[in-house]
Structure 1
Amino acid sequence: MDLGFTALELARIQFAFTVSFHIIFPAISIGLASFLAVLEWRWLRTQDPVYRDLFQFWIKIFALAFGMGVVSGVVMSYQFGTNWSEFSRIAGGVTGPLLSYEVLSAFFLEAGFLGIMLFGWGRVGPKTHFFATLMVAIGTCISMFWILSSNSWMQTPQGFSIENGIIVPQDWFAIVFNPSFPYRLAHMAIAAFLVSGLLVAATSAWHLLKGRRDALVKTSFSMAMWMILILAPLQVFVGDMHGLNTLKHQPAKLAAIEGHWETNVNEGMPLYLFGIPDMQAEETKYAIGIPNLGSLIMTHTLDGQVKGLKEFAPEDRPNSLVVFWSFRIMVGMGVLMILLAMSGVLLRKNQRLYNASWLHRFAILMGPSGFIALLAGWFTTEVGRQPWVVYGVLRTKDALSPVSAEQVGLTLIIFVLVYCVVFGIGIYYMLKMMHKGPEFIHSVAHSDRDVIQASNRPLSTIDDDHAITPSSSQPQERKDD
């Protein structure tokens, strides 16, 4: 079986495929866990049953995302041993303990309280249940902390020595809190919250567009739009700080992102809005740019000097064509998020937030934008680090296991088939639940015929044909939040 790729290329494709599938589920669970904690906190403070009903709807989505995140995450650790054994042998003294800390401090915390969070209603007190929800939310953030610390160390390594070709940790504080870690952690955290905020907004907008105007839909849409309004502009600020850090520690990556080949002298660097970087010709073809804006963004001065890709040896350059466009896709999604949030503010001011169908269509279209921006950002980060797996220390080709292209190609095909079936079913059920929408359980009075029976099976309500609909229960509308 000759796929026309080397073992290294296939191993990189396989890792990119599995990590891309994996990252979307933790992003959902990180954001939704905090959203669930806010919903339960609001319920405890106000005793408004709308928040409890929203909690019991979104916890089903969280449970699915959490489960698929755990399953897909297991594959990642196995790949370090199968395809990247040299990386584990050389750098495992640093990355191994960091990933172990994630399991010991975060995964056990999540696992310990997840059962109470999912099945504890009516079995433990309200405050105890809220504590469990809070611990799960904190656990997801701690998990993100250690994963981002490990990845950031691979981007900006420090606190180690090399002995007999092996990376040996010397200063764990320097390793954990490496130069790019604070910016990457903040960037990823905001991205995860935006993923969930956009998901909630799109789900609520779908039901608003279908005619629902009840308290459940309006409350969730309002909360999601506030979250996007706060986080989308904040992400721009954090992204700017992250870019300055990249310019300092990974100048080749920054030059590749900007399609910048010649170091600018006595003039500002333009910001290319469009172009096709050509790695062979060492130029960005068909470039359309704004003069001096690149220097202004990167150095905060109009004529600041930025190294071009030609300053680096050809074998040390990342693929500019990939990161040039992945970065612009990420930024483009961010601009649309801000536009959505600002549109919501204007319509909220005019009391048309729940009646503007064009906004609801916009929110539905923006539902996947968080995932698109997240994946584009990670492609920018990881492809931009090449050809290094540990930047400046260990090349990717030297981290590969002694495997053949046929072996890696076969496992890649198996991964694609299994992932599409297993996670395709999970995503189908998730979309089906969101299509059905939140239901009134505690927030309106029901007749005996309409009582929704509580179930311990998180997926059971998907096929419940007797659930109360807005047309049958006619709940009283809630004022705008």
Structure 2
Amino acid sequence: MFGLEALDLARIQFAFTISFHIVFPAITIGLASYLAVLEGLWLKTGEGVYRDLYHFWSKIFAVNFGMGVVSGLVMAYQFGTNWSAFSDFAGAVTGPLLTYEVLTAFFLEAGFLGVMLFGWNRVGPGLHFFSTVMVAIGTLISTFWILASNSWMQTPQGFEIVDGRVIPVDWLAVIFNPSFPYRLAHMATAAFLATAFFVGASAAWHLLRGRDNPALRKMLSMAMWMALLVAPVQAFIGDLHGLNTLKHQPAKIAAMEGHWDNSSGEPTPLILFGWPDMEREETRFKLEIPYLGSLILTHSLDEQVPALKEFAPEDRPNSLIVFWSFRIMVALGLLMILTGVWSLWLRWRDRLFSSRPFLHLVLWMGPSGLIAILAGWFTTEVGRQPWVVYGLMRTADAVSNHGVTQMSVTLALFVVVYFVLFGIGISYMLRLVRKGPVTDEGQRAGSGGPGQRRTPARPLSASEEGMDDDDASNGLDARS
């Protein structure tokens, strides 16, 4: 297929499925915490706007959660089907870590999700709020275990190799490996930011179309406070993560910077733009700033950053991919900070909800958090190559013994099925977003929450079933 080998197709398949999957847990993590905050504020203040927003976003959360669960199952199966050699080598570490996620996070979410989605009129407010908080905590626990497993693959420790297999000897060292704290904080914060801009873009879309109510204003206001406060924190976490990566995975940093040679003895410049050429071993058409690379990456004006030529060609990541994915992530992060600062200035001028240029920016920034997450994952995963477990097992040695035809057919099937199924799910979720929150829900006849009149067995049932705009709007009025 296009001159690709089975290994290449297996990597593309995994990258494709995980790129689809990571979008849903990121929104799930952020929305679960957002819902907990909304319900907590409603219980504390009694303001109906928080209740209305809770009901609105709980429907979207239900659809997103369902798609996240389905897409996540595929990831677990791929370890055994396409990467059986890796499972045989490192399964004693990665298997238990994923099992701990199921035993803690998944069971916690499953136990309280039904109460959260369908128990608004069936349990007391305290128990319902407790259930929402437990679901939010469950998403964070899930993040903990997934990042522990992936971080161990980046910076493995706490193990011995016996008969060609990894055997854990210190679980605390395995879990709290050197890169884990930074990557956990970076991912969780990224999920909160991605959700904030998703929520903010939803409000901006309605405001630009002349629909203005307290719920939409509250959505935009809360989202921009999150951007203002958390985006700079994310940049600080990213800096700490970079220093940790420089220590433990210097080849990845060299690839991210497109930096090839230290023979001049000069401090490392920062290459803003360029085209890393793996064959010519140089970054072509580069625009660089002297000394700035050393300052950012080593916090010094005289230390050099490791160069790609210091590593054997077979041990170098693909600098072209990593170089640009990293810059996309950083550029979007800077835009998030800029958006937060602009929102503060407009808030001070009492124009936060009326500045059309700003609302257009927020609307276009809606997917920025998710794109930044994908760019960050490409940076960290491609930058780890050619290792699947850094320094221990090469990716070429981890793949199953499949042929090109098998991998081509399954990859094509994945592409078709994913775009059809998840395309429908995402379209439906965006359709719910376009309807906007219904205000004063608590004063409507028969109102009270997503579970009115019935107790569905599936999380997706918490959203409205009708796809017709008028029918769905009537359903919102009657059941929300």
* Distance in 1 (alpha carbons) for counterparts of 2:453 and 2:194: 28
For residue 47 of structure 1, what is the amino acid of its counterpart?
G
Provide, for residues 206-261 of structure 1, a one-character-per-residue CA deviation record: whole Å limited to 9, x for no partner.
11111122111001110111011111111100000000000000000000000001
**TM-score in terms of structure 2 length:** 0.94
Contact 1:436-1:462 within 8 A present in 2 as well: no
1:459 is matched with 464
Q: Is the 8 A contact 2:464 2:472 kept in 1?
A: no
Aligned to 2:383, the other structure's residue is in SS state: helix
Superposition map of 1:47-446 within 5 A: 47-263=46-262, 266-442=265-441
CA distance in 1, matches of 2:453, 2:313: 61
| 1:133 aligned counterpart, secondary structure | helix
Shift of 1:49: 1.2
How far is 1:112 from its partner? Answer: 0.6
Deviation digits for residues 308-342 of structure 1 (CA, Å, limit 9, x no counterpart): 00000000000000000000000010111111111
Quick one: distance in 2 between partners of 1:389 and 1:175?
Answer: 16
State whether residues 26 and 195 of structure 2, in contact with CA within 8 Å, keep that contact through their aligned partners in structure 1: yes
Distance between the aligned counterparts of 2:253 and 2:451, measured in 1?
56
DSSP-derived class of the 1:460 partner:
coil
| 1:455 Cα deviation after fit | 6.1
Say if 2:92 and 2:168, in contact at 8 Å, map to a contact too. yes
Counterpart of 2:176, as a letter, is F
Q: Distance in 2 between matches of 1:467 and 1:79?
A: 38
Matched, 1:6 2:14: no
Question: In structure 2, what is the Cα distance between the partners aligned to 1:229 and 1:306?
Answer: 31
- With over 3 angstroms needed to count, the CA separation of the structure-2 counterparts of 1:319 and 1:127, relative to structure 1, is same
Question: Residue 29 of structure 1 corresponds to which residue in structure 2?
Answer: 28
8 Å contact 2:269–2:288 — kept in the other structure?
yes
Summarize deviations over 1:66-121 as a string: whole Å, max 9, x none. 11010000000110011000000000000000000001010000011000000001
* Offset, 1:366: 0.2
Shift of 1:459: 2.1
Question: RMSD value over aligned CA atoms?
Answer: 1.8
**Structure 2: unaligned runs, 5 residues or longer:** 455-460
Q: Letter of the 1:379 partner, please give it.
A: F
| Alpha-carbon distance between aligned partners in 1 of 2:301 and 2:154, rounded to the nearest angstrom | 28
Decide whether the 8 Å contact of 2:276 with 2:320 is kept in 1.
yes
Helix, strand or coil for the counterpart of 1:398? helix
Amino acid in the other structure paired with 2:77: Y
CA distance in 2, matches of 1:97, 1:244: 29
Between 220-229 and 459-468, the greater mean CA deviation after superposition: 459-468
The amino acid that maps onto 1:59 is S
AA of the residue aligned to 1:219: K
* Distance (Å, rounded) in 2 between the aligned partners of 1:285 and 1:438: 51
Structure 1 position 460, deviation (Å): 3.2
**Closer, same or farther: CA 218–464 of 1 in aligned 2, 3 Å:** same
Residues 29 and 140 in structure 1, CA contact (< 8 A), matched pair in contact too: yes
Compute the displacement of 1:264 (Å).
Answer: 6.0
Rounded to whole Å, the distance in 2 between the matches of 1:90 and 1:79 is: 15
- The 8 Å contact of residues 439 and 468 in structure 1, kept in 2 or not, is answered as no
- Per-residue CA deviation, residues 107-152 of structure 1 (Å, 9 max, x unaligned), is 0000110000000011000000000000000000000000000000
Of structures 1 and 2, the one with the larger relative CO (CA 8 A, separation 6+) is 2
Q: How far did residue 424 of structure 1 move?
A: 0.2
Aligned partners of 1:396, 1:135: CA distance in 2, in Å? 38
1:339 alignment partner, SS class = helix
Q: 1:234 to 1:455 in 2, by over 3 A?
A: farther
Question: Residues 121 and 451 of structure 2 are in contact (CA less than 8 Å); yes or no, is this contact kept in structure 1?
Answer: no
What amino acid is the match of 2:143?
Answer: M
Q: Supply the distance in 1 between the matched residues of 2:185 and 2:444 (Cα, whole angstroms).
A: 45
- One-letter code aligned to 1:102: E
- SS of corresponding position for 1:385: coil
> What amino acid is the match of 2:438?
E
Cα displacement (A) at 1:463: 3.8
Which residue identity is paired with 1:251?
P
Q: What TM-score, normalized to structure 1?
A: 0.94
One-letter identity of the residue aligned with 1:460: E
Contact 2:117 2:451 in 1 (8 A): no
Q: Given residue 465 of structure 2, which amino acid in structure 1 is its aligned partner?
A: S
The SS at the match of 2:441 is coil
Q: Residue 470 of structure 2 aligns to a residue in which SS?
A: coil
**Cα distance change, pair 51–463 in 1 and its aligned pair in 2 (3 A):** farther
Please give the alpha-carbon distance, in whole angstroms, between the structure 2 residues aligned to 1:264 and 1:425.
Answer: 54
DSSP-derived class of the 1:392 partner: coil
**Aligned-residue offset at 1:305:** 1.7
Cα offsets for 1:166-210 (capped at 9, x unmatched): 111111000000000000000000100011000000000011111
What 5-or-longer segments of structure 1 have no aligned partner? Answer: 473-481
Question: What does residue 17 of structure 2 align with?
Answer: 18
1:267 to partner: Cα distance: 2.2
The equivalent of 2:457 in structure 1 is none
Distance 1:178 1:301 in 2: 26
Which stretch has the larger CA shift, 25-34 or 301-310? 301-310
**In structure 2, do the counterparts of structure 1 residues 309 and 416 end up closer, same or farther at CA, with 3 Å as the change threshold?**
same
What amino acid does structure 1 have at the position aligned with 2:292? Answer: L
Moved more, 333-342 or 134-143: 333-342
Q: Note the C-alpha offset of 1:283.
A: 0.4
Letter in 1 for 2:334: V
What is the CA-CA distance between 1:3 and the residue it aligns to? 3.7
Q: Deviation per CA, 1:387-414, whole angstroms, max 9, x where unpaired?
A: 0000000000000111111111100000
Judged with a 3 Å threshold, the aligned counterparts in structure 2 of structure 1 residues 23 and 467 are, in CA distance, closer, same or farther, namely closer
Residues 401-449 of structure 1, C-alpha deviations (whole Å, 9 max, x = no match): 1111111110000000000010000000011111111112436x5699x
Look up the SS of the partner of 2:161 in the other structure. Answer: strand
| 1:227 partner SS | helix
Return the alpha-carbon distance in structure 1 between the equivalents of residues 258 and 277 of structure 2. 9
